[in-house]
Structure formats: structure tokens, C-alpha cells
Chain A
Amino acid sequence: MFNFPILSLLIWIPILVGLFLVISNNLSNKLSEYLTLIITFLVLLLSLSLTNNYDQSLSQLQFIERIEWINGLNIFYYLAADGISVSLILLTAFINFLIAIYASSETYKNKSAYLGYFLILEGLLMGTFTAFDSILFYIFFESLLIPLFLIIGIWGGKNRKYATIKFFLYTLFGSVLMLIAIIYLSTLAGSFAIRDFYLLNLSFEEELFILLAFLIGFGIKIPMWPVHTWLPDAHVEAPTSGSVILASVLLKVGGYGMIRFMLPITTEAGIFLSEYMIYLSLIAIIYISFVAYAQTDMKKLIAYSSVAHMGFVTLGIFLVFHLLGNNLNAAVIGLEGAIIQMISHGLISAALFFCIGIIYKHSKSRLLKDNYGVVTFMPLFSFLMLFFLMANSGLPGTSGFVGEFLVITSALGSNIIIGFLAAISLLLSASYSLKLGKNVLFGENTQNIQGYKECTINEKFVLGVLVIFILYLGLTPDYLFKIIDHTTINLIDSINLGRT
């Protein structure tokens, strides 16, 4: 089979080059841009070859690298990938490549360090999605905060201090609880490997506390209502590419963790609490959509819409608990819907944050009232942005629809009321997405005091590629289904077997 350590390369190439860029202060802007572009492209190629070599018909872990790391404590450098990891690795590599292309239309002081942090972030994300040793996972998971903290803290907007501290403390709080849970589990299992945790026989009380720790840890990351308030602030202060990576990949770490840890380890407690967790997801979908409608800042609007869309991810995951034992097919549909929703939201939110960045570049304002009539001066851009907004509102034919459709189907498999409440999102997401389009893109604007100008070639490329992939996933997502299908079915089956 495949003998060369592709996962390690995916992690360490971007991290090392990123460190080099951060340290070498006097690298010229052009050079650092090219270097970033080359590295991200290389990583993209690597992850494509990973996908190509991934055997979809197998459900076990692949590309395993397992080396003893800290002898006495039984901690391993244990990397591997399954279908869920592969799909998220592809998303990470793809989004980072687009960020590297987009980089030349941003102007920042000390650009080489800026891009360096993005490369480090990319490597750490790859690590998070492939680590199968819980300590290794925790280290990657935790260190994700550092580059993003610096990106927002150094290159952010006016109010960046408040936003970064809030963001940092919020997520740190959650992950500390998670660390406690991991250490507790490892003392019981005598090993730090995540897969060994699955075999543990926990008492109900133990499960309940571990579930809560994970729920808070990953729930803050994803983020779930009511621990979502760090996200809009962080987005507003972050530079464009920072928002892109935050919304499109970093939030997915939360969903990934829930699938990897919560579903198999704390099944019984999950079933016990599933109803309440589903309510939380529904609140995220409906209430946050209302809040999104009230926003006057474009970035905040999309940030809230991200929370609402991640509500579908958590709903799909928690529905598994609800459906175990009575409708396994619907459970599989729900979980696959959640994963596809993560990938799709990764593309759509990235596209929207790029669009907002482009508008901001011209008008120097992100407020709805300062931007109007863009279509007169940027017809192509407006066409693309309207497309992304439509995708955001779950238009069929775009990827935004597929995940929501599957999750709603799964919800109807358990209870029609849950399905109905989730389906209201169809109306709400259209109302806030198109409100943005109505106010910003359309309307009369003869003066052009904002100085709108049609996109540059690299912006066109970035948005165009995103359009193609959103359409591809919306029309023939079969390939993505194939990647995740066996992993999902196997996961649900093993959870179900573990119960009986």
C-alpha cells in the first residue's frame, strides 16, 4: 500500500515553512506571497493524492503512522485518516490555497509573518483532523488558537483587543474541560489512543460528566447557542483571510470533535440528553437566524448565519443519539448530512467573507447602510455574490441545500416537529441572505462615492473556483458521499453494537 508518511508531510511542511516566514522578517512581499502559494499548492496536491489513494470501500483507518512519543506515559505520535478526516483535509488545503491566491490583493504590513501564521494554522488543522492519540489531538487543537490569536491581534480592526481576549478565553475555557475529560478517560483506558476510549465501559454518571465536558469544549468551538458570542466579535475584527479560515475550517474542528469523541464515547449519556441538545441546535437555527436579520454589519450578519448553519451540523449529530435503536437509516442520513453541511458551509462562508472583503476594500465600510447599488459598477462580482447568498440560503443545485435536506430528512425520521422547526430555516436564511443582497447589491447608486471597481483577476479566480465547487457539490456530490459513506455507516453500526 501507501508507505510514505503523507499525513506527516501535510502537517509539517506548512508548519516549518510558516515558521521560516514568521522568523525571516525582511522577506519581500512578493517573495513571501509566491512561497505561500507554492506551499499551499503543494499541500493541495498532496491532499488530492491522499484522497485518490484513500480506499473508499474500507471503513477502517488508513495511512496509519504510529511512533512511540513519550515512553513512560504511553503517548504515541499516532496519525491516521478515515473518510471524515479526508474530506476535511481536502477542505482545509483548498481554502488555504485560495487564501494564498487572494493574498496579493490584501495590503498588510509585515506580510511574510502574516502569511506565515496562515501556513502554521494550516499545518495545525491538518494535525487536528488526523491525530488519533488524544494528547496529540489536544496539542494540535489547543495550538490552533495561537496563530489565529496573533492574526486577529496584530492585523485586526480597531476593537481587536477585546475580541481576541474574548475569543481566547472562551475557547480556552472549553478546552480545559476537555483536557480533564481526556485525562480521566486515559487513566481508565491505560492509553491515550482515541479508539481505546471507545471500548471503555463507563458508568452513566461518568459518561454524563464527560459528555458535558466535551459538549462545552466543542460546543464553544463550533459554536453552539448560547456560547456563540465570541464569534461575531472575532469575525468583525479579523482581517478578511482570517475570517475566511475561521468560518470555513476552524469551526469545523468543533463538529469533527463531536463526531470523533462524543458520539462513540458517551452514547448512553448522549441518548439521555439528546432532546435538550436538539433544542439547543434548533435555537441556534431559528433564534440566531432572527438575530442575523437584525445585523447592520455585513460581517456580523454572515457570522451569525454561520452559527445558524452550524446548528444544522449539531442537529445532524445529536439526531444520531435520538435515532439509535429505532431508525438507523435516518441516523446515517443525519450524520452524513452534518458532514456535508460542514464541507458546504466551509465553501460558502469562505466565499461570502471574500466578497465582503472585496466590498470593504473599496468602500472602507462594512455597514449595510454605507454600501448600495454595487451591481451598477461591479456586475460580475454582484452576480457571483448573489450566487453565494443564494447558496447560503440553501438553494437546491448548490451545496448549501444537500446537507440541510439530509438533516431535515433525518429529523423527520424521529419527529415531525423537529423537522418542521429545522425547515423554517429555509425561510429565515433566505430572509437575511437576500436582505444583504437587496441592500448592498441592488438599489440606485449614481455617484459611486464608495469607489467600487470590478474585481481583479485573482479575486475573480478565487470566487470563480468557489462557484464551481459549490455547484459541483450541489449537483453531483456523489464523490463526497462515497468518501464518507463507509466511515459513517461503520461508526453508527459500531455505536449501536456497543450499546447492545
Chain B
Amino acid sequence: MIYLALILLLAPLVGTLLLLYTQNNSKRLSIFISNSSILISFFVSIYLLFLYFSCNYLPVSQDVLVFADTKLYSLSFGLYIDSLSLVMSTVVTSVSFLVHYYSISYMKDESSFNRFFIYTNFFTFSMLLIVLSNNFFQLFIGWELVGLSSYLLIGFWTSKESAIKANYKAFLVNRVGDIGLLLGLCLVFVTYGTTNYTEVFNLKDTINNSELDIFGTSFNLLSSICLLLFVGAMAKSAQVPLHFWLPDSMEGPTPISALIHAATMVTAGIYMVARLSPLYVLAEDVSIFILYVGSVTAFFLGLVSLVQNDIKRIIAYSTISQLGYMTAALGASLYSLAIFHLITHAFFKALLFLCAGSIIIKCHHEQDIRKIGGLRKFMPITYLAFLYASLSLIGFPLTSGFYSKEVIIDAIGYYNHTIPYTMLLAGIFITTLYTSKIFFKVFFGECTLHDRNEKENDKEMLVPLFILTAPSVFLGLFIFDSLLSGTLFGASLMSNTVVLDFYNNYVINSLYFFLHSFMTINFFILLIALIFSYYYYYKKSFNISIPNILSTILKNEYGFNNLSTKFIPKFQNLLTKYLWKNIDILTIDNGIINNTSLMFDKISNTVRKFQTGYIYHYSLTIISALILALLIIRIRY
């Protein structure tokens, strides 16, 4: 089993290495290598998942490669195989494969076709490194490597100025989170003496009562670790206030937005918290914080997408908002529900992005939805795929998104977290509005294509849409019962009792939940939102003017845009220049060092005057000194 898991992990890496040696002109070869390596991973992952459940394996944790093994401590790379990691790796490899397949056609005119696949294969490897890790150390390495792949792929078009700025920003914001994650990791390492998950989980109770002293105030050590690690998750999973890199990351190629910035990498934070649930369950104060961060993100950043006009930016904000739902679920200790939404979201959001990619290609890289319209007739398949993805996103009954999202909202309501519950409910309304906004503007109305005889895109681009539609619609229903009743993840995720209690008393089963949902406020809100957007975006029967202040705030994305593009760079330039010019050059160099040498210059110039080189000067000095000496002797004796 461990060998199979190694194949699962290493196949994309081998693909990357082979691609490095592939010439850029042999496109077919690079397509073959990149796609087959991911496909191998995918099949192995499916097989392992099947094996795991059919043979009732217990979780396996095994070290594979020694990083450092000294007398006092040891660090290593290893694999952790249980239902959670296998389900996650299946999601990652399946979406990754479909995106790879889609990219064959999407990227076909690129000059550095090969390079694209090197990056994507490497990304898949790094993501699997996180997912399959059995220790914090490897988690951090994978964490930074996905950041690196994201950096490289956002800046894939190296001469596009905006892309270069966006990837710089993305990397730096992620680094802010990484500081938190690294501190968490180091704190774990220095207190437990190990970074292995199972060993740390076994020791957690002994350490739970330790305190950490910061400026005289003491904090609970375990809570501090959890909080620091969560800062890492906030950056990676784009939670307020570290979210602002994600909309800009849309400068990269669209398949990348689907793979990295919607389906997989941004969910790494959610996965990490779920993986470490044995620690988070004990840190109740941190959990409350997580809950609020999640619901604030879900509501307020959803609002921003209402005023955006770039199709990819809207979907990006929608991703942030959906990640907020997952985070809120984590905060309420509903770990399995967060993972549930993570899985369904990975599929329907990837589908949504791939549809957007098809639309963008068809419209010659036009991304402004005000300039796109009437595509329904030309792209019937994309239209249908987009429709299903949208229904899933807004949580229309029976779709995957319905099961995974409603259940989070209801559970948070069930446990009486009133304020988050309200924000998440309002989120339904917003989600519906911005989804219908894209949908109606892009597919209906005036047709804007130049060539009236345009047809659908190549089959490479359509097949992934077909395939992704299935999980976007049905997967939710399919795994709903086993997931909520705890059979799917078992002991991998903590606090089963919380979910189970909710399941037994509120949900009962998927059919009952479905029927019951028509009587809830959720459905009511959804219905109103649908009717509203039908009349507002489609029929355009009325106009609403948003107050100026509100729309300015939203258009500025709560000021985060200015903060990151104007304020911080300006401040940094000023500060760094000031420090350099005033302290380094003026004070230390000119003030101390050069002044010292000037002083020596002056002293030596003065002293030099005595060395005139004239004999009579010297003899005069000698004689006067002699007389002086004689006089002194005379006086004293």
C-alpha cells in the first residue's frame, strides 16, 4: 500500500523531470508525458481508495525519506494514508487530469507549451505532498512549493506586466501566511521534539495546559500553535484580510485559475485545519475566531463580486466567499462538512472556470461581461455545463452544492451561532445574484461575436466539461449519508459527535433533508433571489441604484486594492530608501567611518607639519628640548 501511495505521489514529479528534458517543439510528447503521469496518479488514487474501504484498512503512517537524523532530533518525509488523504488526493488528481486535458487545446498556440505542463505537473506533485504528508515539516514544504507553482503559473506570460505584478503580490501575501505557519511548525517542533502528526496528537493532552509567555501575558500554548497555523491557512485559502492576492491571480491562464485558484491549492488551508482537527478541537477560542473569519469572508467578499465586471474576477470572489463557508464550518468544529463542501466546490468551481475559459477563448480574450452576450446559441454545451455549475453554486435543491452548503448553514444555525448564521444566510442571496448576473449577461441578450458562424470549441475542451458536470450535480447526494453519518472519514476527523448529533436530530437522511429544505428559510431566500435576478438581470424590468458610497467601497474592494497596489509599495519604497540613505549612508558610513578617516587625515596633516625636512628646524627643536630638559633637572634637584 505504501508503495502504491509512493507511485501516486511521485508520478507527477517524474512527469515534471521528464518534461524538463523534452524539447519544446515536440508537443505530442509533452502532452503524453504530462497527461499520462497525472492519469497514473489518478488511477492509483482511485484504486487505493477502493482498497482502503473494501479491506477496512487502518490509517497508515510511514516515514519514507530521512531528512535529518541526529542524536537529538529527527526530521523526515513520510506518507499518511487514511480515508481523508485518499479522498483529497482523488479530488486533486481528477481535477488536475481534467484541467491538463483541457489545456491541450486551450494552450495550443502558446510558444512555451512545454513549460506550462512542467509547472502544472509540479504543482500536482506539491499538492499531493501536502495531502499525503504525515508530519508538519513536509506540510510546510509542500505548502511553499504550491505557492511557488502558483507564482510561476500566474506569471506564466513573462512579458505581461500585470501578470508579473500579480504573481509578486500573490507570493508575498502567501509569505505573510507562511510566517504564521512556520512559527506554528517551529513551535510544535521545539515543544514536542517531533513533527510527526500521530506523535504530536498523542502528546497533545500533556501539553494542553502549558502556557506561553509573551510580554508578560501568558497564552495557552496549544491555542497559540493553532492560531499561528491558521494564519497560514488564511493566506492560502484567501480569508479576510489576506485574501487580496486571489482576484489578481486571475492574470494567469484560465485552466490554472480552475486548478489552482479554485479547486485545489486554495483549499489546502481547509484541508490542513481538518487534518489537524485533533488539535483544533481542543482550541475552542481559536475555533470561534475561525468561525467569524469564515462567515465575514463569505458575506463581505461575496458582496464585492456584485460590482465586478471581469468574468474571472467575479468567479474569484465567489471562490473566496465559498472558502469562507468552508472556514466557517471548520470554526464550528464541523470538519467533515467543510471537507464535503471542499469536494463538491472543487468540481463545480473547476467546471465554472473551465466554462469561463471556453468563453474567453471564443471571445478572443475578452473578459468583460458587459461586452459578451448571446452565447447560448453558439456554445450550447458550454451553456448547459455553465447552467449546472451555477445551479450547484447557488445551492439549488438536489445538486451537489445544495447538499454541501445547506448542510453547513443549517448546522451552524442548529448550534445557535446566530451572527455567523445570519451572514451565511445572506450569502445565499448574494451568491445567487452574482451567479445569475454572469449567466444572463453572457448567454442571453445581444450576440457580440464578430463571426456569426462560430462553433463550439474543440472536443478536448468539451470533454472535461461533460465529465465535470456529473460530480457537480450528483456527487453531493451520492456521498451525503455516508459522510454525515461518519462512515466515510471515520476517525480521521475529530468531533464526529458534533456532526452525528446534528445528523440524527436534524438531517435524518438525504431524502428527508431534501424535502425539509423546502420549508427552510434558505430555500425562501434562494427563491426570492432567483426571482429578483430574473427580473433584474434578464428582463431588466427595473433598475436599482446602489448608494454611491457603498458602490465605491465595493469597487475599491474595501480599500484592499489601493492598499496593495499603492499604499504598501509606496510606503515600502519610502521607508527602505530612508533607512538606506539616512542610517546606512549618512550616519554609519559618512558619519562614523568616513569621518574617522577624515579625522585621522586632519590629525596627520597637523602632525606632518613637524616633519618639515629642514635640518635647522630639527636642530632647533633638539636644542630647545635639551635646554628645557636641563632646566627641569636643574629646578628639581
Binding site for B on A (CB under 8 A): 166, 169-170, 226, 229, 287, 290-291, 293-295, 329-330, 332-333, 336, 373, 375-376, 390, 395-397, 401-402, 405, 408-413, 416-417, 419-420, 423-424, 426-427, 430-431, 434-435, 438, 441-445, 475-478, 481-482, 485-486, 489
Contacts and interface: CB of A to CB of B under 8 A. Distances in A.
Given A291-B580, A293-B572, A444-B161, A486 B71 contact: yes
A390 B148 contact: yes
B72 A489 contact: yes
A333 to B, nearest CB: 7
Given A293-B572, A294-B580, A375-B159, 18 more contacts: A229-B588, A290-B576, A290-B579, A291-B580, A293-B576, A294-B581, A330-B190, A333-B72, A336-B70, A376-B158, A401-B141, A401-B144, A405-B186, A423-B182, A427-B176, A475-B65, A477-B67, A489-B72
A409 B190 CA distance: 6
Q: Which of A166, A405, A434, A442 has the most CB of B within 10 A?
A: A442
Nearest to B193: A329
A408 B66 contact: no
Contact of B70 (A291, A435, A485): A485
Interface in B164-198: 164-165, 168, 171-172, 175-176, 178-179, 182-183, 186-187, 189-190, 193
A229 B584 contact: yes
Nearest to B112: A379
Interface string B581-611: 1011000110001000100000000000000
Contacts of B176: 427
B208 interface: no
A434 B144 CA distance: 15
Contacts of B224: 416
Contact of A416 (B71, B189, B212, B581): B212
Interface in B306-334: none
A413 B190 contact: yes
B577 interface: yes
Contacts of A478: 66-69
B624 interface: no
B186 A412 contact: yes
A485 B183 contact: no
Contacts of A477: 67-68
Interface in B56-110: 65-73
B519 interface: no
B73 A373 contact: no
B565 to A, nearest CB: 14
Contacts of B575: 290
A376 B576 contact: no
Contacts of B573: 294
A291 B68 contact: no
A358 to B, nearest CB: 18
User: Considering the complex of A and B, which 10 residue pairs feature the smallest CB-CB distances, nearest first?
Assistant: A294-B576, A396-B141, A409-B186, A444-B159, A294-B580, A481-B68, A293-B576, A485-B70, A291-B580, A413-B190
B2 interface: no
A176 B426 CA distance: 73
A397 B141 contact: yes
6 contacts: A290-B575, A294-B581, A332-B72, A396-B145, A408-B186, A427-B179
Contact of A291 (B67, B144, B161, B576): B576
Given A166-B593, A229-B593, A444-B161, A410 B183 contact: no
Contact of A412 (B69, B73, B141, B190): B190
A12 B573 CA distance: 49
Contacts of A290: 575-576, 579-580
Contacts of B73: 329, 333
A291 B145 CA distance: 27
Nearest to B219: A416
Contacts of A442: 155, 158-159, 164
A226 B588 contact: yes
Interface in B122-160: 140-141, 144-145, 148, 155, 158-159
Contact of B182 (A294, A426, A482, A486): A426
A485 B73 CA distance: 11
A255 to B, nearest CB: 20
Interface string B208-224: 00001111000000001
B159 A373 contact: yes
Contact of B67 (A434, A441, A475): A475
Given A290-B575, A395-B148, A396-B145, A476 B70 contact: no
Nearest to B160: A444
B578 to A, nearest CB: 8
A426 B155 CA distance: 21
Nearest to A427: B175
A351 B179 CA distance: 26
A426 B579 contact: no
Contacts of B69: 478, 481
A310 to B, nearest CB: 16
A287 B212 contact: no
A296 B577 CA distance: 10
A333 B579 CA distance: 33
A408 B190 CA distance: 10
Nearest to B182: A423
A376 B182 contact: no
Contacts of A476: 65-67
Contact of B175 (A329, A410, A426, A438): A426
Contact of A376 (B159, B214, B572, B581): B159
A359 B576 CA distance: 25
B215 A417 contact: yes
B586 to A, nearest CB: 11
A489 B584 CA distance: 38
B161 A443 contact: yes
Contact of B579 (A294, A419, A430): A294
Contacts of A441: 158
B179 A423 contact: yes
Residue from A426, A476, A486 with most neighbouring chain B CB atoms (10 Å): A426
A494 to B, nearest CB: 15
A401 to B, nearest CB: 8
A490 to B, nearest CB: 10
A412 B184 CA distance: 10
A443 B186 CA distance: 37
A375 B193 CA distance: 44
A241 B250 CA distance: 42
A444 B573 CA distance: 23
Nearest to B155: A442
Nearest to A446: B159
B192 to A, nearest CB: 12
A390 B65 CA distance: 23
A402 B182 CA distance: 12
Contacts of A396: 140-141, 144-145
A333 B193 CA distance: 11
Given A431-B172, A442-B155, A287 B579 contact: yes
Nearest to B163: A442
Nearest to B126: A397
Contacts of A169: 597
Contacts of A401: 141, 144
B367 to A, nearest CB: 21
Contacts of A438: 164-165, 168
Contacts of A427: 172, 175-176, 179
Given A426-B175, A431-B172, A409 B189 contact: yes
A485 B182 contact: no
Given A229-B584, A430-B175, A443 B164 contact: yes
B179 A424 contact: yes
Contacts of B190: 330, 333, 409-410, 412-413
B541 to A, nearest CB: 47
Contact of A423 (B66, B168, B183): B183
A489 B71 contact: yes
A27 B28 CA distance: 53
Nearest to B575: A290
A333 B68 CA distance: 12
